[in-house]
Amino acid sequence: MTLSSILRIAAAAQIAIALLNLFLVRLLDWKADLDRMPLLLREVFQVHCWFISITLAIFGIITFQFADAMAASSNEVGRWLTAGIGFFWAIRVVLQVTYYSSSHWRGRPGRTVMHVLLLAAYGGLAVVYSLAASGRGS
């Protein structure tokens, strides 16, 4: 499998995560928690949720459209873009491990599985984009 193909899979994964992000409140049953928040915090949460989804969709669409160029690492813009996306996902992995309390998933098999799968996906995205940025993946 080529790096271009893997980047296209990464593009689809980011679009899937973007869509999943839009349904987190319902999936994780957060409506009551959000309703208790002050209006400003609730609005900030919702706007950030949408903007993260838009950002991930943009990452996915750009990657799908330019996977070959990104894999070739043949121009500076592509290298900076892949490095930036790789850094984005690497930071996400670090935050997933160090910032979130394990009480959110520990003892809940479904949430634990989802946590592990998402952590692996985020880490995989960080590796794929970092390889593309470094030029070692082609």
pTM score over 0.85 = yes
pLDDT by 10s per residue, the chain, length 138 = 999 999 999 999 999 999 999 998 998 888 999 999 999 999 999 999 999 999 999 999 999 999 999 999 888 999 999 999 999 999 999 999 999 888 888 898 988 898 899 999 999 999 999 999 998 765
Question: Exposed, middle or buried by CB within 10 Å (0-12, 13-18, 19+), for 47?
Answer: exposed
pLDDT at 110: 87
Q: Quick check: 73 and 133 in contact, CB under 8 A?
A: yes
Distances (CA, A) of 21 to 1, 16, 61, 75, 81: 29, 9, 17, 32, 22
pLDDT at 138: 59
pLDDT at 8: 98
pLDDT at 27: 85
Q: Quick check: 70 and 80 in contact, CB under 8 A?
A: no
